Amino acid sequence: MTNHALPEAWRRGLYETIARRRDMRAFLPDPIPDETLARILLAAHQAGSVGLSQPWNFLVVENREVRAQVRAHVEAERLRAADTFEKERREKYLSFKLEGILDAPLNLCVTCDQERFGPSVIGRNTIPETAVYSTCCAVQNLWLAARAEGVGVGWVSIMEPAVLRMILGIPERILPVAYLCVGFVQSFPERPIFESKGWLPRLSLHELVFHDRWDERPRPALLRALATSRIDGPQATLAPTTSAEDRAQ
Amino acid sequence: MTNHALPEAWRRGLYETIARRRDMRAFLPDPIPDETLARILLAAHQAGSVGLSQPWNFLVVENREVRAQVRAHVEAERLRAADTFEKERREKYLSFKLEGILDAPLNLCVTCDQERFGPSVIGRNTIPETAVYSTCCAVQNLWLAARAEGVGVGWVSIMEPAVLRMILGIPERILPVAYLCVGFVQSFPERPIFESKGWLPRLSLHELVFHDRWDERPRPALLRALATSRIDGPQATLAPTTSAEDRAQ
């Protein structure tokens, strides 16, 4: 069998990037060079898409007034969501910085055209949402490329697509999938903030894997591999030694 | 400003992996070592998720009878979809191999629990679909890790979630997002099959990027960077020289 694995150094680069990617909310105002932004967007455009439909567009939002409108909507939604938490949790929730819309030098709105190339798209018939799934794959590529370039990305999801459409002039048939704050950062935290601040625990991978049917445990050898698997990067929490602690939370 | 860009070799590894990832439909029967599979799944589990909800599960489907049931459903859907194409297109459509469910040594069903951690998930209130978006990000990580390990992944999307739920015993509240064929391959093609076979053209990145508002062209400097940007890997089609040809198709 021919071995098509990529060279060890490249593989490590991928795993290190995956492990070090973070959802960022604080940004430096420094502009992102156009060449860097172009590479990040090209990485997104190279994602797989259902039937090669490439359903995405990328709105680079730099105008501060436009971003201020988006931020005002997000802030209203943030406060509205606070009502869903009990008192103690609510105070903690309100203490989190959830977005850097105006701090970052630019925002990116990644959209999905579910009708691109019309009925010629193979694989989109049975599940129309697959176009959205493809768009999310592009976002993940973008996120990883940004991390590799030292650029932070923060996905802001507390907003109504209809409001975003209005602010950005997006047609009705187009779905805004991701609204991202993009900029250089002071530092990337070792662990996701919701994890390090004890909001939610990191789940153990081996508890998320089933075999052949829902809820059936994996074969012992795979279970062992899952429980001991590590990839590089600073995420000590993914090591098996902390899974007991995770379970206790 | 501190530079948090990853070392050049790591960055290259990421970009090469992104450029070389393909949606595969032909597989070798050789088994995937459990350690390799565990690394691939761990990469998926390290994706960002809305509010750290980690809404995914991974069903490793090895049982041939189970996979034969899935394949029978997909085959019926494939033929049903053929009716949507005109005669000439239909014959071409039917000539495509769309899945390797039984050829590959295993399938992976990646699911999404939209209620995981209940109302404590920050950012899932306004757009409940964000949990699905997170799951797709995990799939992209998985896909890239597999490529780096020399393992092909083929996303089969011509299937009804309800049928898949029945076959795999997946509860009603859980959404099967991706059904993936996973295995070693003879070779990874240089370009996506739908592109090289002339089914659909590769779009030019610079035509997909807008500035501040939908349909507004980017600043000239960014436009230039977008039109000339390249990342490594075998995708010559992404070079600017072919964009005229793309437009002509």
Check if the beta carbon of residue B231 is closer than 8 Å to that of residue B18: yes
Residue B179 and residue B99: Cα distance in Å, rounded? 10
Give the residue from chain A lying closest to B172, CA to CA: A214
Give contacts of A14 with chain B, Cβ < 8 Å.
Answer: 13-14, 17, 43, 144-145, 148
Residue B160 confidence (pLDDT): 94
Is the pLDDT assigned to residue A184 strictly greater than 50? yes
Interface predicted TM-score of the whole assembly (ipTM), two decimals: 0.92
Burial (CB < 10 A; 0-12, 13-18, 19+), residue A5, is: middle
| Residues whose CB falls within 8 Å of the CB of residue B213, separated by 6 or more in sequence, listed in order | A59, A66, A168, A169
Q: Which of A119, A147, A161 sits opposite B84 (nearest CB)?
A: A119
Residue A248 confidence (pLDDT): 36
Residue B232 confidence (pLDDT): 65
Is the pLDDT assigned to residue A239 strictly greater than 80? no
Residue A126 and residue A136: Cα distance in Å, rounded? 19
The mean pLDDT of A170-174, rounded to a whole number, is 97
Residue A36 and residue A14: Cα distance in Å, rounded? 18
Contact (CB<8Å) B214/A132: no
Give the residue from chain B lying closest to A84, CA to CA: B119
Residue A37 and residue B218: Cα distance in Å, rounded? 12
Q: Which of A2, A6, A211 sits opposite B60 (nearest CB)?
A: A211
| Residues whose CB falls within 8 Å of the CB of residue A244, separated by 6 or more in sequence, listed in order | none
Q: Which of B10, B171, B225 sits opposite A38 (nearest CB)?
A: B225
Residue A81 confidence (pLDDT): 87
pTM given for the model:
0.92
Contact (CB<8Å) A51/B212: no
Task: Give A241's pLDDT tier (boundaries 50, 70, 90).
Answer: very low
Contact (CB<8Å) B149/A11: yes
Task: Give B41's pLDDT tier (boundaries 50, 70, 90).
Answer: very high
The mean pLDDT of B231-243, rounded to a whole number, is 46
Report the amino acid identity of residue B229. Answer: S
Task: Give B15's pLDDT tier (boundaries 50, 70, 90).
Answer: very high
Give contacts of B24 with chain A, Cβ < 8 Å.
Answer: none
Q: Mutating which of B133, B135, B147 best tests the A interface, going by the most A Cβ atoms within 10 A?
A: B133
| Residues whose CB falls within 8 Å of the CB of residue A188, separated by 6 or more in sequence, listed in order | A20, A22, A24, A147, A152, B4
The mean pLDDT of A197-218, rounded to a whole number, is 94
Q: Specify which residues B153 forms β-bridges with.
A: B23, B182
Burial state string for A84-106 with b = 16 or more CB within 10 A and e = fewer than 16 = ebeeeeeeebeeeebbbbebbbb
Residue B126 confidence (pLDDT): 80
Residue A132 confidence (pLDDT): 96
* CA B62 to mean position of chain CA atoms: 20
The mean pLDDT of A223-237, rounded to a whole number, is 74
Residue A194 and residue A89: Cα distance in Å, rounded? 13
Contact (CB<8Å) B148/A6: yes
Is the pLDDT assigned to residue B238 strictly greater than 80? no
**Min Cα separation B19/chain A (Å):** 6
Q: Tell which residue, B109, B160, B130, has the closest CA to residue B48.
A: B130
Positive or negative torsion for Cα B118, B124, B125, B129:
negative
Q: Mutating which of A8, A36, A42 best tests the B interface, going by the most B Cβ atoms within 10 A?
A: A42
Q: Which of A155, A200, A209 sits opposite B60 (nearest CB)?
A: A209
Crossing angle for the helix pair B8-20 and A130-148, nearest 10 degrees?
Answer: 160
Task: Give A193's pLDDT tier (boundaries 50, 70, 90).
Answer: confident
Tens-digit pLDDT profile for residues B164-214:
999 999 999 999 999 999 999 999 999 998 899 888 999 999 999 999 999
Tens-digit pLDDT profile for residues B99-121:
999 999 999 999 999 999 888 78
Residue B124 confidence (pLDDT): 84
Calculate the average pLDDT of chain B. Answer: 90
Residue A233 confidence (pLDDT): 64
Calculate the average pLDDT of chain A. Answer: 90
Q: Mutating which of A30, A69, A73, A229 best tests the B interface, going by the most B Cβ atoms within 10 A?
A: A229
Residue B233 confidence (pLDDT): 64
* CA B185 to mean position of chain CA atoms: 17
Residue B234 confidence (pLDDT): 58
Helices (H), chain A: 8-20, 34-45, 64-82, 87-95, 130-148, 161-168, 193-196, 220-228, 243-248
Tens-digit pLDDT profile for residues A36-82:
999 999 999 999 999 899 999 999 999 999 999 999 999 999 998 88
Contact (CB<8Å) A136/B136: yes
Q: Specify which residues A154 forms β-bridges with.
A: A181
Burial (CB < 10 A; 0-12, 13-18, 19+), residue B200, is: buried
Residue B175 and residue B177: Cα distance in Å, rounded? 6
Give contacts of B45 with chain A, Cβ < 8 Å.
Answer: 203, 205, 208, 238
| Residues whose CB falls within 8 Å of the CB of residue A79, separated by 6 or more in sequence, listed in order | none
| Residues whose CB falls within 8 Å of the CB of residue B79, separated by 6 or more in sequence, listed in order | none
Contact (CB<8Å) A12/B13: yes
Report the amino acid identity of residue A14. Answer: L
Residue A197 confidence (pLDDT): 87
Residue B237 confidence (pLDDT): 36
What DSSP character marks residue A214? T
The mean pLDDT of B128-157, rounded to a whole number, is 96
First to last CA, chain A: 45
The mean pLDDT of B121-147, rounded to a whole number, is 93
Better-scored residue on pLDDT, A98 or B214: B214
Q: Which of B48, B117, B215 sits opposite A23 (nearest CB)?
A: B48
Contact (CB<8Å) B144/A1: no
Residue A229 confidence (pLDDT): 87
Is the pLDDT assigned to residue A21 strictly greater than 80? yes
Is the pLDDT assigned to residue A31 strictly greater than 80? yes
Q: Which of A18, A62, A222 sits opposite B212 (nearest CB)?
A: A62
The mean pLDDT of A91-101, rounded to a whole number, is 91
Is the pLDDT assigned to residue A246 strictly greater than 70? no
